[in-house]
Structure 1
Amino acid sequence: MPFYVSPEQQMKDKADYARKGIARGRSVVVLQYDDGILFVADNPSRALHKISEIYDRIAFAAVGKYNEFENLRLGGVRYADINGYQYDRRDVTARGLANVYAQSLGTIFTETNKPYEVELVVAEVGEDAETDQIYRLTFDGSVADEHGYVAMGGQTESVAQALKDGYEEGASLEVALRTAVRALEAQDSDRRLEAKSLEVAVLDRNREHRLFRRLPARRIEELLAAGDGGSAGGSAGSSGGSSAGPSVEDVDDVLGDGKD
């Protein structure tokens, strides 16, 4: 006798499976700061990135199964390169990329036996904070237009609550980074995240052309130390960070992103 499962139960089982897989991963937070958008991941690996550049003003962050979100990242890079070449670079937007990802994830979720165990953020930095775009995509292709901050993966509720309590609109990079790290640490009160355990990148609206910049461990340590040193030290560190050019490590990381 054939075994029957209702479509509703099948969709529920798939959703539960994907949520459990995503929850097992380490968290990523994305939040706006005064000069752009900050990405912070609990990720000690220097090779398997959760945060990457997609195009000039667009970046990508993900949690879940690496091979699955890496396939999506590469597809996004191809989409951006082809459309930027055929039309105009200004025609490549986070909204368009989010729509492409939503269609792919929705099709995979409904038409295959195993859904992708991933959650994504596609962000585009604008001329000012009002024109920044942050889109969150879930495993079933749902899209949410987010403002201020986003938390994904791990114990999402505790991370999101910590972000809600600590987030300051228009904060400096130092303050925003410290807020993000405290939110990630909220999952385990005994754990303290060090620079070498973090993957940090920014979309900096003050840069020219490619606005994505990956921060090396040394720079992360400086920002965290400035944030701990008080508001005056944080402000000084912020202005120094925005006026100085990227280090050799920054340039090497940027040139390696999104072009595999």
Structure 2
Amino acid sequence: MSMPFYVSPEQLMKDRADYARKGIARGRSVVVLQYDDGIAFATENPSRALHKISEIYDRIAFAAVGKYNEFENLRVAGVRYADLRGYSYDRVDVTARGLANAYAQTLGTVFTTESKPLEVELVVVEVGREPAGDQIYRLSYDGSVTDEHGWVVMGGQAERLAGVLEGAWRPGMTLSEVLGVAVRALGSSGDDGEPRALGAAQLEVAVLDRTRPRRAFRRLTGALLEDVLDGAGTLGAGQGPSSA
């Protein structure tokens, strides 16, 4: 008579966590940084169709790393949540905090009840009218939520990038300055340890601009992004938009 196969709950949860972490680490990092007029998002992503950074609502954005189909489903669910809540109550009742709580419930439920956890890490961000009103929530694969301040880095070689950002970011930086920091950090994670110069065509960049009256989200692409990066001094000689 064969013995029944048994795995302790602790081992089961550890295995799921390890599985999710490995999947997330394979994704390219996303960097989120506050600047004087809003919050900037940057990631290495040559695709113009598969976004890792997206608008959710008027002043709320979403960024993710991990499996695209999994975080895209979460993004769509977030847009539906925000639209329904804004329509049923009032637009001001749609908050990053409420959305983060909804995502936390979904992620936590999948992690504890499904056979496979979601291989995703998320950031939900709301830009305030003043920097003190900015909200940045980081959500892990198991539904845990952390309230972040200043900057966040997820996925890929997050620890290495965090070391770069910690020494370079400071409150009150301009958009050009924070994107310079972001691109240097993203370029520091080369496979051979050597820093890489990233051009505009290799990047996905967006901002939540607190000076805009209602819809704060906008993407920075093409010539506009090149101008901002040139202003930050991140494109060296010979490193233009054609270097993707």
Range of TM-score over shorter length? over 0.9
| TM-score, length of structure 1 as denominator length | 0.87
Q: Paired residue for 1:199?
A: 204
Distance in 1, matches of 2:76 and 2:228, equals 31
Distance in 2, matches of 1:217 and 1:41, equals 15
The equivalent position to 1:96 in structure 2, one of 92, 95, 98, is: 98
Secondary structure at 2:152's aligned position in 1?
Answer: strand
Q: Deviations over 1:6-31 (max 9, x none)?
A: 00000000000000000000010001
Secondary structure at 1:134's aligned position in 2?
Answer: strand
Distance in 1, matches of 2:54 and 2:172, equals 23
Gaps of at least 5 residues in structure 2 are: 235-244
The answer on 1:32 being equivalent to 2:34 is: yes
1:18 aligned partner, one-letter code: A
Q: Paired residue for 1:228?
A: 233
Q: Aligned-pair distance for 1:52?
A: 0.3
Q: Paired residue for 1:50?
A: 52
Distance in 2, matches of 1:174 and 1:168, equals 13
Q: Which has the higher helix share?
A: 1
Work out the percentage of aligned pairs sharing the same amino acid.
68
Q: Paired residue for 2:141?
A: 139
Distance in 1, matches of 2:33 and 2:224, equals 18
Q: Paired residue for 2:66?
A: 64
Distance in 2, matches of 1:112 and 1:177, equals 39
Secondary structure at 1:101's aligned position in 2?
Answer: helix
Q: Deviations over 1:103-122 (max 9, x none)?
A: 00000000001000000000
Q: Deviations over 1:82-110 (max 9, x none)?
A: 00000000000000000000000000000
Q: Paired residue for 1:164?
A: 166
Q: Deviations over 1:161-197 (max 9, x none)?
A: 1110110211001001000011111212242211001
2:93 aligned partner, one-letter code: D
Deviates further, 19-28 or 190-199: 190-199
1:194 aligned partner, one-letter code: G
Q: Aligned-pair distance for 1:217?
A: 2.4
The equivalent position to 1:215 in structure 2, one of 214, 220, 226, is: 220
Q: Paired residue for 2:23?
A: 21
**Superposed structure 1 runs of 4+ greater than 6 Å apart:** none
Cα pair 2:188 2:195 within 8 Å, conserved = no
Distance in 1, matches of 2:168 and 2:185, equals 8
Tell me how large the CA RMSD over aligned residues is.
0.9
Distance in 2, matches of 1:88 and 1:9, equals 45
Distance in 2, matches of 1:7 and 1:217, equals 50
